[in-house]
């Protein structure tokens, strides 16, 4: 699976997790007349959105992704392509925490509200990383692929030949 596709899927999965947790929170907190809980939920989600927007404000790769790209081993062959198993293999903490928060959120809406806020932070903080990696791939003429590893090992990338994008310059200005 291409790394840019993995990043895009990770953002969408975090956003989907936040949506599911927010839906459960709203449904389970609507049965209570606790105004303090509703105020807490609103403040936390707005704060989480601001934190996520702040963390994801730059259009360049963050330092962990930059280190991951720099440590990618070069190869002329692609790693095994099984996107669904790779996503499950890498995103299992998100799946587990979402299911746990959904289960606990049935009895305590605060749990699903807090977990939903963290999912909002993750989705907004990682939203521009795919575009930054794509720019690096186009500049260097490579494609980064996620290498299948154990779910408990750090993610590893493979650098494979890709297509280089040449830009035309007129008097030193890029068009």
Sequence-distant (6+) residues with CB within 8 A of 131 are 59
pLDDT of 117: 96
Which of 46, 20, 34 has its CA nearest to residue 100?
20
- Tell me the per-residue pLDDT of 8-60, one tens digit each, with 9 for 90 and over: 999 999 999 999 999 999 888 877 777 888 889 999 999 999 999 999 998 88
Please state, as a whole number, how many other Cβ atoms lie within 10 Å of the Cβ of residue 131: 14
Which whole number is the average pLDDT over 70-79?
85
- Angle formed by the axes of helices 3-29 and 35-55, to 10°? 170
Q: Are 155 and 87 in contact (CB under 8 A)?
A: no
Distance CA 48, CA 53 (A): 9
Distance CA 11, CA 17 (A): 10
pLDDT of 30: 78
Sequence-distant (6+) residues with CB within 8 A of 55 are 121, 124, 125
The highest-confidence range among 59-73, 115-129, 151-165, by mean pLDDT, is 115-129
Instruction: Say if residue 108 is exposed, middle or buried (CB neighbours under 10 Å; 0-12, 13-18, 19+).
Output: middle
Which of 54, 84, 53, 62 has its CA nearest to residue 130?
62
């Amino acid at each position: 699976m291409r790394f840019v596709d993995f990043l895009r899927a990770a953002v969408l999965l975090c956003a989907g997790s936040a949506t599911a947790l927010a839906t459960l929170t709203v449904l389970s907190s609507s049965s209570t007349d606790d105004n303090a809980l509703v105020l807490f939920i609103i403040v936390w989600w707005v704060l989480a959105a601001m934190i996520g927007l702040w963390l994801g404000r730059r259009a360049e790769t963050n330092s962990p992704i930059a280190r991951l790209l720099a440590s990618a081993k070069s190869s002329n062959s692609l790693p095994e392509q099984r996107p669904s198993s790779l996503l499950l293999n890498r995103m299992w903490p998100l799946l587990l925490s979402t299911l746990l928060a959904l289960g606990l959120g049935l009895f305590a809406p605060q749990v699903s509200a807090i977990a939903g806020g963290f999912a909002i932070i993750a989705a907004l903080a990682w939203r521009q990383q795919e575009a930054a990696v794509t720019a690096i791939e186009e500049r260097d003429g490579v494609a980064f692929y996620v290498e299948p590893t154990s779910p408990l090992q750090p993610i590893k990338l493979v650098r494979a030949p890709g297509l280089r994008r040449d830009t035309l310059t007129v008097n030193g200005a890029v068009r």
